[in-house]
Amino acid sequence: MNRPRAEFATRVTSFKLNGRTVRATSAPITRLADVLRDELGLTGTKIGCNAGDCGACTVLIDGRQVCACLTPLAQVEGRSVTTVEGLARGKSLSKLQRAFHRHGAAQCGICTPGMLMAASDLLARKKKPREPEVRDALGGVLCRCTGYQKIIEAVLDAATAGREPPAPRAEEAVGARLPKIDGIPKLTGTERFGADAIPRDALWLRALRSPHHRARFRFGDLDAFLRDTPGVVRVLTAADVPSNGFGIYPHIKDQPVLAAGEARFRGEAVAALVGTREALEALEESRFPVEWQPLPAVLGLDAAMAQDAPEVQAGKRGNLLLDGTVKKGDAEAAFAQCAAVAEGLFETAFVEHAYIEPEAGWARRVGDRIEVHVTTQTPYMDRDEVAIVLGLAPEQVRIVPSACGGGFGGKLDISVQPLIALAAWLMDRPVACIYHRPESMASSTKRHPARVQVKFGCDADGRLRAAACDAKFDTGAYASWGPTVATRVPIHASGPYAVPNVYARGRAWFTHCHPSGAFRGFGVPQGAIAHEAMMDALADRVNIDRLEFRRRNALRAGDATATGQRLAHSAGLVACLDALEPHWITARRACERFNANAKRDRSPLRHGAGIGCMWYGIGNTALSNPSTLRVALSPNGTLTFYNGAVDIGQGSNTTLTQVCADALGLPMRDFELVMGDTDRTADAGKSSASRQAFVSGKAAELAGLDLRRRIFAAAGAPEGEWQDRRYRLALEKGHVLFRKDGIAHRFKPKNEIVGEGTFDPPTTPADENGQGVPYATYAFAAQVARVEVDLALGTTRVLELWAAHDVGRALNPILARGQVEGSVYMGLCEALMEEQAFRRLPPKLSHALVHRAPSMLEYKSITALDMPEMDTVLVEDPDPNCPFGAKEVGQGPLLPVMPALANAVYDAVGVRIDEVPVTPDKVLRALEKKAKGEPARIGPESFPDVPYPPATFVLPPWEDGDGDELKGADGKPLRRRAKVATA
């Protein structure tokens, strides 16, 4: 934003760019990043924040790393600038690029150019740097995908002449440690993200957003505004939107594209201006004629649940969006029999995805169709949403996904799509939009803040007997993925454990906050904090080692879950715990030794070890979620994989090709890839809920098998011959070669042969007690963390973390480890620092603040400098219903991190921080309380008098949406006085 106007462009700036002299005519104060991208066409340099906070724009000036977004063009006069495009020599990647490729250091790839340039600076000065020097050099570039591990490994390995593994032979791709098949463009700067291929003749769109949490508004004279604002050609308002509502669920289209008369959250779009980029960027927003009338806003769960709360959405009585329940056995009766009962109340915050690539894209009208090129996780859902909003048939909309620079769930909801589609449709001109960082953070969805109240009980042998959970979520102004969270959480609330009696409830309330949406784990991470604290509390009370307590109760194949689903296969928690046990024992002993010495030496440092476990149902909850993939062999022997599953960095382009290749029986190198384009690929569903490896993986397997069958049939092979895996296939000069027992047959297809695979995981809808088969398979994981807490400062430092994850089968161990590391990184960020707070601002101030906050600088996250050592164990407990046994690895590893850390802090200093993130101020306050003999706990303020663990506790009234008490199966109210917990 704030590009200098043309009248300031008064001179030519000459400098060396990647070894060649160039002359730039942009104004001398233009950001170098803009000059590189817009004037010189080198879009390898990325823009994530335009404020010097993310490092995505890092380039070298005279060999030293700088942020190109903070460098005015004038400063490079006569100097040498190197961008990512200058690293390779022709088609030969540099050693550093090759190391990145080998190690899988580029996931989504949006930070990769910045990382490469920062590392180049270091390696030019030091051929063999030590790890701390590498971390230091990369410390200014944020990566949200990798957890930095693979990047650091790659830089350390860049000095060696490491070699890529040989390309796998036919039927040997699954399980091979392969670099990404689409990895090279991410390393050379040629990958095209949402902002990278915008046509030069495009108009631009700028949304105008509410500065208030809640306000009525009225526009002034828009015609006069247009007349007086050269370069702005159209103002779009709600009146221009044919069908002004979108939303994830077919029956809940409650979010307007442009608010009509009332804005329900700060950052909601109320109008959109279309014009030249310069005019839009130069516009002072205060010139836009809109009058605001701020109204009392519902902020936070307590306000939403209050008796007299205003309705956030008209007609939504009590602001309740959804109420989901799971009931198995008789939890209340079982608690009465328990030898030990533990209870707690936990709270979590809004969390921002902070993908480095902001929302971006462009659209154009092609006859009676609209084409939208956009960064997204879900092209087919985008297609249907745009069609609804524009009043078109779905077939009239084409979504062409760009590379996606990180999503983590945040790009499952639409953002720029309906705005640019509407503008392009109405104006018959290409229209582009890139959100700036504060706009992205203000308007995009967040992780649901949660308040989770739990109660668990076990017998004297440490066998869990009962679990109760009441989870409340703030879903913001619109439904988004709130129903998913409210139904998924009760299912997972009893944790990865066999519990015979469960009562769990999940509810979501509307508030005047940004909508809460999908984020790695869909609410399950918030529940995991609670159930894992309970495992520690119960283990301590029945005097069983905390790891052993979990192992004793772990779900195993043959056990029934809280929804009554019997797990037939692949429940690998015990294997995960077994793998971690040596680390757990060593870590605990190390902590004891350290703390004894620290006390003796009067050091303020204390160490503690914590453990956390999780399970995660893969795919949609009790809903159909099919994927269809195709693979085609053309008459000239070209093999094309039409893969509608968007690779958002997790590597599905590679892993799905591995699966399809082995099922078909041809090597991966024969495959060409078409990804995501809704005109060219079938609907493979969304890249969310960790479903692509499993669901689309199975579809890829079926597609490969189907093509194999069809090729054999076309070649005249006897029925069933295609299943004989002794046939080795090869493509040679437009022919298919069949070899078996030393005899070869040759076949040339006359027409295109297409194999198709569709897979929909077998699930069943829940009954009135939430019983059923919500997911076809589950992932399991356990983690151990060792932390250091500073009693004087309240800071928590993670020293080591071990993660064991039951992936079913690792389709590609490099990529699987990368997913674990990245997911753990996000868990650490959430556990220790990340929180997007809303503030109740005086109306006078709020207008000013919406535009300066939040930023990537204010939103603290972990850098390469802070990321601890971690060790990943991939546990393979194959599920025969999954492709080659593979389950998931994208989301689950985040779940145990927060509980493991909170439990480790308790182990270190004896205080419970039940309000995530675990920040120094909370630790200090808890320590103060402990010193005064008060309950050493920081948690939800509405629950101040309950010690941890509570001696007595009254369960909250489990009223239904109408305020009536729920009745148990015996007709008695479920509200009971809980059993006195044992000491």
CB of 37 to ligand FES, least distance (A): 11
CB of 836 to ligand FES, least distance (A): 18
- Residue 885 backbone dihedrals phi, psi, to 5 degrees: 90, 0
Nearer to ligand FES, 69 or 711 (CB): 69
Half-sphere exposure of 292 (CA within 13 A, CB side): 22
CB of 148 to ligand FES, least distance (A): 9
Nearer to ligand FES, 404 or 421 (CB): 404
What Cα–Cα distance (Å) separates residue 463 from each residue in 324, 885, 936, 949, 981?
A: 27, 30, 27, 19, 16
CB of 142 to ligand FES, least distance (A): 7
Nearer to ligand FES, 42 or 145 (CB): 145
Joined together, the tokens standing for residue 415 give 């953002």
- In angstroms, how far is the first alpha carbon of the chain from the final one? 60
Nearer to ligand FES, 344 or 407 (CB): 407
Instruction: Tell me the pairing of strands 796-806 and 778-790.
Output: antiparallel
What Cα–Cα distance (Å) separates residue 510 from each residue in 304, 348, 657?
A: 7, 16, 42
d(Cα 544, Cα 459) in Å, to the nearest integer?
12
CB of 120 to ligand FES, least distance (A): 16
CB of 67 to ligand FES, least distance (A): 4
CB of 53 to ligand FES, least distance (A): 5
**468 close to 458: Cβ distance less than 8 angstroms:** no
Nearer to ligand FES, 412 or 611 (CB): 412
- DSSP category for residue 662: H
**Length in residues, the chain:** 983
Chain residues in the site for ligand FES (CB under 6 A): 47-50, 52-57, 67, 69, 106-112, 143-146, 356, 406, 649
**83 close to 112: Cβ distance less than 8 angstroms:** no
Instruction: Tell me the pairing of strands 397-401 and 80-82.
Output: unpaired
Please count the other Cβ atoms lying within 10 Å of the Cβ belonging to residue 526. 29
Mapping DSSP to helix (H, G, I), strand (E, B) and coil, where does residue 49 land?
coil
Rounded to the nearest 10 degrees, how much is the dihedral formed by the CA atoms of 711, 716, 721, 727? -60
Nearer to ligand FES, 150 or 514 (CB): 150
**517 close to 480: Cβ distance less than 8 angstroms:** yes
d(Cα 759, Cα 757) in Å, to the nearest integer?
7
Please count the other Cβ atoms lying within 10 Å of the Cβ belonging to residue 637. 15
Q: Which one, of 77, 59, 81, 87, lies nearest residue 23 by Cα?
A: 77
Nearer to ligand FES, 354 or 587 (CB): 354
Which residue shows structure tokens 């397997």?
Answer: 701
Nearer to ligand FES, 146 or 696 (CB): 146
What Cα–Cα distance (Å) separates residue 973 from each residue in 143, 458, 506, 958?
A: 51, 23, 18, 9
CB of 49 to ligand FES, least distance (A): 4
Nearer to ligand FES, 323 or 834 (CB): 834
CB of 385 to ligand FES, least distance (A): 25
Q: Is the peptide bond before 854 cis (omega within 30 degrees of 0)?
A: yes
CB of 240 to ligand FES, least distance (A): 32
CB of 182 to ligand FES, least distance (A): 13
Nearer to ligand FES, 649 or 676 (CB): 649
Please count the other Cβ atoms lying within 10 Å of the Cβ belonging to residue 896. 34
Mapping DSSP to helix (H, G, I), strand (E, B) and coil, where does residue 521 land?
coil
CB of 47 to ligand FES, least distance (A): 4
Nearer to ligand FES, 106 or 479 (CB): 106
Q: Cα 502 from chain centroid? A: 29
Class of residue 576 by CB neighbours under 10 A (exposed 0-12, middle 13-18, buried 19+): buried
Nearer to ligand FES, 193 or 641 (CB): 193
Nearer to ligand FES, 110 or 804 (CB): 110
Nearer to ligand FES, 143 or 174 (CB): 143
| Own/partner long-range contacts of 158-162 (Cβ < 8 Å, ≥24 apart) | 158/95, 158/96, 158/98, 158/99, 158/119, 158/123, 159/95, 159/123, 159/127, 159/128, 160/99, 161/95, 162/98, 162/99, 162/102
CB of 818 to ligand FES, least distance (A): 9
Nearer to ligand FES, 103 or 144 (CB): 144
Nearer to ligand FES, 727 or 825 (CB): 825
Query: Using H for helix, E for strand and C for coil, what is the string for 357-419?
Result: CCCEEEEEEECCEEEEEECCCCHHHHHHHHHHHHCCCHHHEEEEECECCCCCCCCCCCCCHHH
Nearer to ligand FES, 107 or 836 (CB): 107
CB of 617 to ligand FES, least distance (A): 26
Q: Is the peptide bond before 604 cis (omega within 30 degrees of 0)?
A: no
CB of 831 to ligand FES, least distance (A): 19
Class of residue 581 by CB neighbours under 10 A (exposed 0-12, middle 13-18, buried 19+): middle
- Residue 141 backbone dihedrals phi, psi, to 5 degrees: -115, 125
Class of residue 278 by CB neighbours under 10 A (exposed 0-12, middle 13-18, buried 19+): middle
CB of 860 to ligand FES, least distance (A): 15
CB of 50 to ligand FES, least distance (A): 5
d(Cα 693, Cα 520) in Å, to the nearest integer?
15
**147 close to 408: Cβ distance less than 8 angstroms:** no
d(Cα 949, Cα 939) in Å, to the nearest integer?
12
Q: Which one, of 44, 45, 173, 179, lies nearest residue 809 by Cα?
A: 173
CB of 54 to ligand FES, least distance (A): 3
Nearer to ligand FES, 267 or 358 (CB): 358
